Amino acid sequence: MSFPSGFPRVGVLALQGDTREHLAALREAGADSMPVRRRGELDAVDALVIPGGESTTMSHLLLDCDLLEPLRARLADGLPAYGACAGMILLASEILDAGASGRAALPLHAIDITVRRNAFGRQVDSFEGDIGFAGLAEPVRAVFIRAPWVERVGDDVQVLARAAGHVVAVRQGPVLATAFHPEMTGDRRIHQLFVDIVNGRI
């Protein structure tokens, strides 16, 4: 796959969450990264990262910015995407404990998984640890903050990592999702993995 600049243009949804950290990590992994807040910016990118944050708030910001349906359409057309924590929740096809009906997190239906919000507990239950990750020789330092876990995995979904017996990283085609925050460590291997997916290398 070739790109006009020689590098894929990977957007980071910049409505809430660790936008700057993901932009920096993507640049270090060899992507031309840019924030995405508007429809024109979404149309301009080759792939998208959805960062952590608060999934119900992010859902309604997508609605307010008229991005929800355009994003769903691009994902349905095969847009590569990576979601971390709240991003994993939004990329899912089904969300458990999605919130009250008026403030529910809205699934983007990009990956065939069922996720449970805040499955590992509240903010005070946040933790980090080293976990094995499929395809990587050394463990990944994973930071979990009010993190989800995956309760159901579709037939075409690859499980990449588990923590405390629960699925916390998955991939289906060009869509990657983790329950943890790799942007918060100096390890860029998850972002590199996503850039390699965007480039069609793996």
Over range 41-54, report the average pLDDT.
Answer: 96
pLDDT higher than 60, residue 174: yes
Contact 85, 106 (CB under 8 A): no
Which residues fall within 8 angstroms of residue 186, CB to CB, at 6 or more apart?
none
For residue 104, give both structure tokens: 């529910």
Tell me if 83 sits within 8 A of 177, measured CB to CB: yes
Element (H, E) at 152: strand 149-153
Per-residue pLDDT, averaged over 148-172, amounts to 97
What pLDDT, on a 0 to 100 scale, did the predictor assign at position 17?
Answer: 82
% the chain with pLDDT above 90: 85
Report the candidate in 48, 42, 41, 52 with the shortest Cα–Cα distance to residue 18. 52
User: How confident is residue 38, by pLDDT bands cut at 50, 70 and 90?
Assistant: very high
Number of other CB atoms surrounding residue 10 within 10 Å: 28
pLDDT for 4: 57
Model confidence at 100: pLDDT above 80: no
Residues in Cβ contact with 126 at an 8 Å cutoff, skipping those fewer than 6 apart: 120, 143, 144, 145, 146, 147
Tokens found for residue 192: 């590199």
Residue identified by tokens 């972002």 is 191
Query: Which pLDDT belongs to residue 2?
Result: 53
Q: According to the model, what pLDDT value does residue 135 have?
A: 94
Banded pLDDT at 5 (limits 50, 70, 90)? low
- The CA R_g of the chain, rounded to the nearest whole Å, is 15
* Span of 2-11, 65-74, 123-132, 186-195 with lowest mean pLDDT: 2-11
Asked whether residue 201 carries a pLDDT value surpassing 90, the answer given is: no
Active site (catalytic) residues: 85, 181, 183
Mean pLDDT of the chain: 93
- Domains, the chain, ranges and CATH? 9-199 (3.40.50.880)
Q: How far apart are CA 143 and CA 121, in angstroms?
A: 13
Give yes or no for a contact between 114 and 148, defined as CB atoms under 8 angstroms apart: no
pLDDT score at 117? 93
Q: What is the pLDDT of residues 14-25, one digit of tens each?
A: 998 889 999 999
Contact 92, 172 (CB under 8 A): no
pLDDT of residue 1: 61
3-state secondary structure of 100: coil
How much is the average pLDDT of 5-32? 92
pLDDT 10s digits, 106-148:
999 999 999 999 898 776 567 899 999 999 999 999 999 999 9
Q: What pLDDT score does 125 carry?
A: 64
Measured CA to CA, the distance from residue 124 to residue 105 in angstroms comes to 22
**Residue range 177-198, pLDDT digits in tens:** 999 999 999 999 999 999 999 9
Which residue ranges are tagged as binding site for L-glutamine? 53-55, 117, 145-146
